[in-house]
Structure 1
Amino acid sequence: MKLALLLSTLVLAALPVHAGSATPSRLKEISDPDTRAWWQATEALSSDAMEGRDTGSPGYDRAARLVAKRFEAAGLQPAGDHGTWFQTFRLNDLRVTVPGTRIAVGDKPLRLLYDLAIWPSSGMPTQLDAAVVFGGYCAPGTLGDVRGKIVLCYGWRRAGLTTGAERTHAVEAAGAAGILTIADPGFTVEPMRWPVAYARSMTLLDAPASPEDRLLVATLNADVLAAVIAGSGRDAAQLLALGSAGKPLPRFEVPGHFQARLNLQKKVVTSANVLGVLPGTDPVLRAQTLVLSAHLDGYGHGEPVAGDNLYNGTLDDAAYVALLEHLATLRHGNGYRRPVLFAALTGEEKGLFGSRWFVAHPPLPKEQIVADINLDQIRPIFPLTRLTVHALDDSTLGDAVRAVATRHDIRVQLDPEPERNLLRRADHWPFVQAGIPATGFVFGYAPGSDAEKRYRHWYEVQYHRPQDDLTQPMDWTAAGAFNRFFYDLVGTVADAEAAPQWKPGSALAPHP
Structure 2
Amino acid sequence: MCYSLPGSRATSTVALASLALLIAGLARPQTPAPSAAWSATSPAATRWFSHVEMLAKDEMRGRETGSPEHRQAADYIAAQFKAAGLAAGTRAGYLQPVSFTSRRLLEKESSLALVTKGAAVPVTLGEQAIFGMRIDPAATVEAPLVFAGYGLQVPETGMDDFAGLDVKGKVVVYLVGSPAGVPGALSAHYQSAWVRAETLRRLGAIGLISIPNPQATDVPWERSSANRLAPAMALADASLGDSAGQQLSVTFNPAHADLLFAASGHTFAELLALAGNRQPLPHFALPTSVRAHVAVEKRAVESQNVVGLLRGSDPTLANEYVVLSAHLDHLGVGAAVNGDAIYNGAMDNASGIATLIEAASAIVAAKPKRSVLFVAVTGEEKGLLGSRYFARNPTVPRGSIVADINMDMFLPLYPLRQLMVLGLDESDLGDDVRAVAAAVGIGVQVDPQPLRNRFTRSDQYSFIREGVPALAMKVGAEPDSPEAAIEAAWTKDRYHAPSDDLQQPIDRAAAVGFTEVVGRLAVQVANRPTRPAWKPASFFRRFAGTR
TM-score normalised by length of structure 1: 0.83
Q: Deviations over 1:301-325 (max 9, x none)?
A: 2333343332221111111112222
Q: Choose the corresponding residue for 1:198, options 228, 246, 250.
A: 228
2:386 counterpart residue number: 354
Is the counterpart of residue 180 in structure 1 residue 209 in structure 2?
A: yes
Q: CA deviation at 1:234?
A: 5.3
AA in 2 matched with 1:96: L
**Match among 49, 54, 58 for residue 68 of structure 2:** 58
- One-letter code of the match for 1:397? L
Answer yes or no: is 1:91 the counterpart of 2:120. no
Q: Cα deviation per residue 1:324-383 (whole Å; 9 max; x = unaligned)?
A: 222334567774444322111112222222222222222223344332221114111122
Indicate yes or no: 2:475 matched with 1:443: yes
Shift of 1:147: 6.7
Aligned length: 486
Contact 2:102/2:232 (8 A) holds in 1 = yes
Partner Cα separation in structure 1 for residue 198 and residue 468 of structure 2: 30
SS at match of 1:84: coil
Of the three residues 117, 136, 140, the one matched with 2:162 is: 140
Q: Which residue of 2 aligns with 1:101?
A: 110
Contact 1:297 1:349 in 2 (8 A): yes
Offset, 1:227? 4.7
With over 3 angstroms needed to count, the CA separation of the structure-2 counterparts of 1:472 and 1:400, relative to structure 1, is same
After superposition, residues 196-275 of structure 1 pair within 5 angstroms as 196=224, 197-198=227-228, 200-208=231-239, 213-227=245-259, 229=261, 235-245=267-277, 246=279, 248-249=281-282, 251=284, 253=286, 258-275=290-307
Query: Are the equivalent residues in 2 in contact too, given 1:108–1:227 (CA < 8 A)?
Result: no
Do 2:145 and 2:172's aligned partners in 1 also have CA atoms closer than 8 Å? yes
> CA-atom RMSD, angstroms?
3.3
Q: 1:11-410 counterparts in 2 under 5 A? A: 30-80=40-90, 82-105=91-114, 106-112=120-126, 114-120=127-133, 123-128=136-141, 134=147, 136-137=149-150, 139-144=161-166, 150-160=171-181, 164=191, 178-187=207-216, 190=218, 193-196=221-224, 197-198=227-228, 200-208=231-239, 213-227=245-259, 229=261, 235-245=267-277, 246=279, 248-249=281-282, 251=284, 253=286, 258-329=290-361, 335-410=367-442
Separation in structure 2 between the aligned mates of residue 334 and residue 7 of structure 1, nearest angstrom: 20
Match of 2:490 in 1: 458
Give 1:173 deviation, angstroms: 6.3
> Which amino acid is 1:116 matched to?
A
Distance 1:78 1:464, change over 3 A: same
Q: More deviation in 57-66 or 499-508?
A: 499-508
Q: Give the letter aligned to residue 335 of structure 2.
A: E
State the distance in 2 between where 1:367 and 1:486 align: 23
Q: Post-superposition shift, 1:294?
A: 0.9
* Counterpart for residue 9 of structure 2: 8
Distance 1:395 1:148 in 2: 40
Q: Secondary structure at 1:8's aligned position in 2?
A: coil
Is the contact between residue 368 and residue 523 of structure 2 (CA under 8 Å) also seen in structure 1? Answer: yes
Percent sequence identity is 34
The 2-side partners of 1:177 and 1:332 are apart by 50
Moved more, 217-226 or 430-439: 430-439
**How far apart are the structure 1 equivalents of 2:497 and 2:175?**
25
Instruction: Give the distance between the partners of 1:167 and 1:323, measured in 2 at CA.
Output: 33
User: What one-letter code is carried by the residue in structure 2 that aligns with 1:100?
Assistant: E
CA contact (8 A) 2:97 2:305 kept: yes
Q: CA deviation at 1:39?
A: 0.3
Tell me, in whole angstroms, the C-alpha distance in 2 between the residues paired with 1:369 and 1:134. 42
SS in 2 for 1:341: strand
- State TM-score, norm by structure 2: 0.78
What CA distance in whole angstroms lies between the structure 2 residues aligned with 1:322 and 1:380?
12
Residues 88 and 450 (structure 1), Cα distance of their counterparts in 2 relative to 1, 3 Å cut: same
| Structure-2 change in CA distance of 1:213 and 1:59 (3 Å) | farther
Mapped to 1, the partners of 2:520 and 2:347 lie a distance apart of 21
Cα 1:158–1:311 shift into 2, 3 Å: farther
List gaps (5 residues or longer) in structure 1: 12-28
Paired letter, 2:124: L
**SS where residue 489 of structure 2 aligns?**
helix
